[in-house]
Structure 1
């Protein structure tokens, strides 16, 4: 049974999406499945705090935070678009991001997927990602979805 999947509004970063929506861009999705419902809420709030720096995050095109409600093991995470993999990696090792990762280590399961896409329009990226998060499409296997695809 599918549960409601809520997402925050699109938060643009400092990198402007080309008007024709042509990439390439790097798409990253993360999912944290908490062992306890309270931890899911806490990780979502931590994401909201981190989101405040998004407009100044080098290489960030934009992002959504998302959360699944109505579950004993709730899930939450983010979907982000980047100008390239190097900028995503810079963000992953940022001290404020690492603090969140360390704070929730052992309190749930984390998975992520990253791929390159030629589509950079937020509304065109959200659809395929939503299908992955809602279980309609499988999570990408391996290190990367093939170049040029929006999703698996």
Structure 2
């Protein structure tokens, strides 16, 4: 049975004013694969709680949360867009984010990919991330993420 990737609507961050075409942004894609499918629901709920504070996150352009609605339903994550890598690292270091990462440690496998790209619109960014999540493009080795 094929996988269906679902996502939330785009949520603006405080840097949401559309960057000029060609302005470099940082895209980060995360994927958390749970060991047990029922854990996916609680991971998703934790992501939605973080999404509430997203509009106050410095340097955040926007984000989507996503989930794989395949037969096992055990993958979910985010696609985030930032003005600079430092802002992404600031979000990762936030206490609420760290609390969630610690709470689910050992309950699944986390991987991420981060890249710089010229801003050509939300649709192009999402399609690029979707190719990675759908398996149409390989994930980069961990050392390159």
Give the TM-score normalised by the residue count of structure 2. 0.93
Deviates more, 1:60-69 or 1:131-140: 131-140
Residues 1-152 of structure 1 mapped to structure 2, 5 A cutoff: 2-15=2-15, 16-18=17-19, 20-72=20-72, 74-141=74-141, 142-144=143-145
Looking at structure 1, the residues matched to 144 and 108 of structure 2 have their Cα atoms a distance apart, in angstroms, of 22
Q: Secondary structure at the match of 1:22?
A: coil
Looking at structure 1, the residues matched to 67 and 73 of structure 2 have their Cα atoms a distance apart, in angstroms, of 11
Judging by fraction of residues, say which structure has more helix. Answer: 2
Instruction: Return the offset for 1:74.
Output: 1.2
Aligned residue pair count: 143
> Gaps spanning 5+ residues in structure 2: where?
none
Give the TM-score normalised by the residue count of structure 1. 0.89
